[in-house]
């Protein structure tokens, strides 16, 4: 079984994340994609969303898709979420699953700086997707990474979680920038500002 891991802060999850996962699933015929919000110490979060809330929004987002799941692995473990530790644990817990890691172009370019990337690159492949503002050229990566980074095309989506948080705080609409159920969650909980829900 082939599983793609879609990791991120997901503060909040938005359609860029959903399309990235779907493109990777489609192009590389993944059986499932597991969305895994990372643990972040509360004082480092830019927003009022707790790990539990980011997990709940992620669950809402994936709920309609037959092969998307949520993984609470890193939030449950707490501490700093190093991908290399997570992947080692995942491989122990699911020895028969072949994992790949789905990342946007900004993260692809940052890969050489990831914690213990040489070890990580020996354990799994990455699927990189295009994202506005970052070039996506595997040839620019060190050769040990060129071997493990594959590309899946997705429609360019110029949306970030930072933009969503700013728009909510400013009372601007975020409808259709996030899945409907995530929209409802944000309006209901008021997490990104007292004005959330005023622009509908
Ligand atoms: P923030 O603005 O808080 O950094 P973000 O929108 O970048 O949020 P993250 O949770 O940081 O979202 O990203 C998780 C993963 O999703 C990363 O690999 C990132 O590159 C990818 N990603 C995020 N937004 C997009 C997008 N619009 N298109 C393609 N990939 C994306
Ligand atoms: Mg980001």
Spans of all domains in the chain? 2-158
Task: Answer yes or no: is the ipTM higher than 0.85.
Answer: yes
Q: In angstroms, what is the span from residue 96 Cα to ligand 2's centroid?
A: 30
Please work out whether the CB of residue 4 comes within 6 Å of at least one atom of ligand 1: no
Please work out whether the CB of residue 59 comes within 6 Å of at least one atom of ligand 1: no
Q: Residues 56, 59, 65, CA angle at the centre, nearest 5°?
A: 165
What's the confidence (pLDDT) of residue 199? Answer: 54
Q: Is the pLDDT of residue 200 over 90?
A: no
What's the confidence (pLDDT) of residue 196? Answer: 47
* 129 vs 106: CA distance, rounded Å: 9
- Taking the CA of residue 107 as reference, the ligand 1 atom at the shortest distance is 20
Correct CATH for 2-158 of 3.30.1360.120, 3.40.50.620, 3.40.50.300, 2.40.160.20: 3.40.50.620
The mean predicted confidence, pLDDT, of the chain is: 94
Residue 65 has a CB neighbour count (10 Å cut-off) of 16
In tens, the pLDDT along 10-47 reads 999 999 999 999 999 999 999 999 999 999 877 788 88
In tens, the pLDDT along 77-96 reads 998 879 999 999 999 999 99
> Rounded to two decimals, what is the model's pTM?
0.96
Over range 96-117, report the average pLDDT.
Answer: 97
Residues 4 and 101 sit within 8 Å (Cβ to Cβ): yes
Which segments of 106-165 are extended strands (E)? Answer: 125-129, 149-152
Please work out whether the CB of residue 135 comes within 6 Å of at least one atom of ligand 1: no
Please work out whether the CB of residue 38 comes within 6 Å of at least one atom of ligand 1: no
In tens, the pLDDT along 39-48 reads 987 778 888 8
What's the confidence (pLDDT) of residue 195? Answer: 52
Over range 156-185, report the average pLDDT.
Answer: 97
Ligand nearest to the CA of 10: 1
């Amino acid at each position: 079984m082939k599983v793609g891991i879609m990791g991120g802060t997901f503060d909040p999850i938005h359609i860029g994340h959903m399309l990235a996962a779907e493109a990777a699933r489609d192009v590389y015929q993944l059986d499932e994609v597991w969305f895994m919000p990372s643990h972040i110490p509360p004082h480092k979060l830019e927003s009022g969303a707790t790990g539990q809330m980011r997990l709940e929004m992620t669950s809402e987002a994936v709920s309609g898709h037959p092969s998307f799941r949520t993984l609470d692995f890193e939030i449950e473990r707490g501490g700093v979420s190093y991908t290399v530790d997570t992947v080692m644990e995942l491989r122990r817990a699911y020895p028969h699953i072949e994992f790949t890691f789905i990342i946007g172009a900004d993260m692809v370019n940052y890969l050489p700086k990831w914690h213990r990337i040489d070890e990580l690159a020996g354990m799994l492949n990455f699927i990189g997707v295009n994202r506005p503002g970052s070039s996506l050229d595997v040839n620019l990566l060190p050769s040990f990474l060129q071997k493990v980074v594959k590309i899946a095309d997705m429609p360019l989506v110029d949306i970030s979680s930072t933009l969503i948080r700013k728009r909510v705080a400013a009372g601007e609409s975020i409808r259709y920038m996030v899945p409907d159920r995530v929209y409802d969650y944000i309006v209901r909980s008021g997490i990104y500002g007292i004005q959330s829900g005023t622009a509908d």
